[in-house]
Chains A and B, each alone.
Chain A
Amino acid sequence: MELVKPSIGLIFWMVVSFSIILFLLKKFAWKPILGMIKEREESIENALASAEKAKEEMKALQSNNEKILADARAERDLLLKDARDIREKMISDAKSIASKEGERMLTAARENIQNEKMAAITELKNQVASLSIDIAEKILKSELSSDEKQKSLVTTLLKDVKLN
């Protein structure tokens, strides 16, 4: 069979030319092509990796920002609460001071009034006493203006005094 009989000529040329083309392609085609493909793949991989990294960093930054924001908000809330507390306290303090002062003033006024009243009463008493003395004096004077009157008085008085 012609078909399955290897021919020496063809084998010879094939070996020679295949070796040559293998060498030429290896040196001038496969080496640069494979090198470039690899280089490109690496650069793409690096780019992807760095993009991923940037994304990661962005995320971290964002979460950081959010944290800062949350902290600030919490701080603000705290400050507001403190202020509100202080205000309330101040108001209540002021209120209590005011009421105390009022009370004190009231008490003082009340005491004053009492004192004044007492003084007035004393004065009144004194005046009433001196008036009654004056009246008594005037009555006595008139009662004791004549001797008969004196004598009747003494007898009246003596009547009351029973000698036991």
Chain B
Amino acid sequence: MTNKINIFKPFSSALFLLFAFLFISNATFAGDSDNKPAAMQSEVSVTAPAEGSDKKEHTEGGFDAGKMIMEHVSDSHSWHLFGHYAIPLPIIVKTDKGIEVFSSSHFGHEGEERYQGSNYNYGLVDGSIVVVDSQLEGVDAAATATLTDFSITKNVAAMLISMLLMLWVFLSVAKAYTKNPGKAPKGLQSFIEPLIIFVRDDVAKPSIGEKKYERFMPFLLTVFFFILFNNYLGLIPFFPGGVNLTGSISIAMVLAGFTLLITFFIANKHYWRHVFAMPGVPIPVLIILTPIEILGLFLRPFVLMIRLFANITAGHIIALAFFSLIFIFGEMNAGLGLGVSLFSLVFTIFMGFLELLVAFLQAYVFTLLSAIYFGSAVDEGHDVHNHVDDHTDSRTTH
């Protein structure tokens, strides 16, 4: 009991710090948007060198909240830090003439410049790389169709950083376990252990069963912590966090795809029989039921993907939208902007707390549903000769 309290004490102070950062840097982010309204200057104290000159032209352009939010939740080829500073990321493109690697800094800050590669000339249109003709003006549609973008984008970079973080955390935790076996956990170990036990006892064991859960633990734990780490990193609004990685449909798709593939690989005869020919169902009904079941196979991971993507993206959008309100009202009247900022702050803090919960909840839900799918795939079922064993088994194990 006391151990538990000790674990969460540093955690709560960390949460507080996180919040402090959350709203400060959200303000920073909103302020860093390239369309800077004049009112923003009174709100946040970001002083990028070029700001003075920018101020006027952006005031004319007005603040486009939708564009700003979309820029922050979407992937990009450079990692925007603050003001006019961004980390250029490597661009890797594969075309029919081969692979080319160059830095995204060649596209300029706004992506307005062109890069003359050895195979083609490249440009950036709406965040995606296109092949441009030799005059560096028009888009070469035929060549663009052959182009595949394998760039280390902001999301890929954030993913790699989070994975390195995971490796560091879990390898050091594993080291702590092997160093003093059988002892009570200490430090980081005691923070991670309840989560691991949570995944094992509250996710894997009840969904898959006492006997078979062990082989799924590595995947479930990796997925759980990958989503958890990236959800929380996404809530930290500055480098290397603030990236809407788990809210990226591609990432969610790969995670759900892993779940689907594992389900297919480990599924037993019983599972497939239930999919293709549900026992005890007459053939005319099967004609309707089987396509639904087959569709269901793919629908379940699809829903997993959409749920993760939508929840996390929505969280990012809402947090940013509240701050955009400040600038939208600030454009009308500086005083109004100031007044709204108070309201926005309160709501962003509230949303921040909610997002902390959602971040954990989504990791939990994804892992739990994956575990349930695995559980149904390895379930021995309720055949006549299995029936009794199954029930006595469940009674003894739970």
Using a CB–CB cutoff of 8 Å, the interface residues on chain A facing chain B are 2-15, 17-18, 21-22, 24-26, 28-34, 36-37, 39-40, 43
Contact = CB atoms under 8 A, between A and B. Distances in A.
Nearest to A8: B148
B397 interface: no
A7 B75 contact: yes
B70 interface: yes
A11 to B, nearest CB: 5
Contact of B156 (A9, A25, A32): A9
A37 B226 contact: no
B149 A37 contact: no
Nearest to A42: B182
Contact of A2 (B126, B153, B167): B126
Contacts of B320: none
A34 B249 contact: no
A28 B221 CA distance: 13
Given A6-B250, A18-B226, A25-B222, A32 B73 contact: no
Given A13-B150, A25-B222, A37-B197, A6 B253 contact: yes
Interface stretch (B158-166, B367-375, B380-388): B158-166
B329 interface: no
A18 B155 contact: no
Contacts of B160: 13, 17
Contact of A5 (B217, B226, B249): B249
Indicate the member of A2, A29, A33, A34 with the most B CB atoms within 10 Å.
Answer: A29
A3 B249 contact: yes
B120 interface: no
A21 B161 CA distance: 12
Contact of A11 (B196, B217, B254): B254
A98 B135 CA distance: 153
B304 to A, nearest CB: 14
B212 interface: no
A10 B152 CA distance: 8
B297 interface: no
B363 to A, nearest CB: 15
A142 B128 CA distance: 198
Contact of A29 (B127, B174, B193): B174
Given A10-B250, A21-B163, A43-B182, 13 more contacts: A3-B313, A10-B155, A13-B156, A15-B254, A15-B257, A18-B254, A21-B222, A24-B167, A25-B167, A28-B170, A33-B173, A36-B182, A39-B181
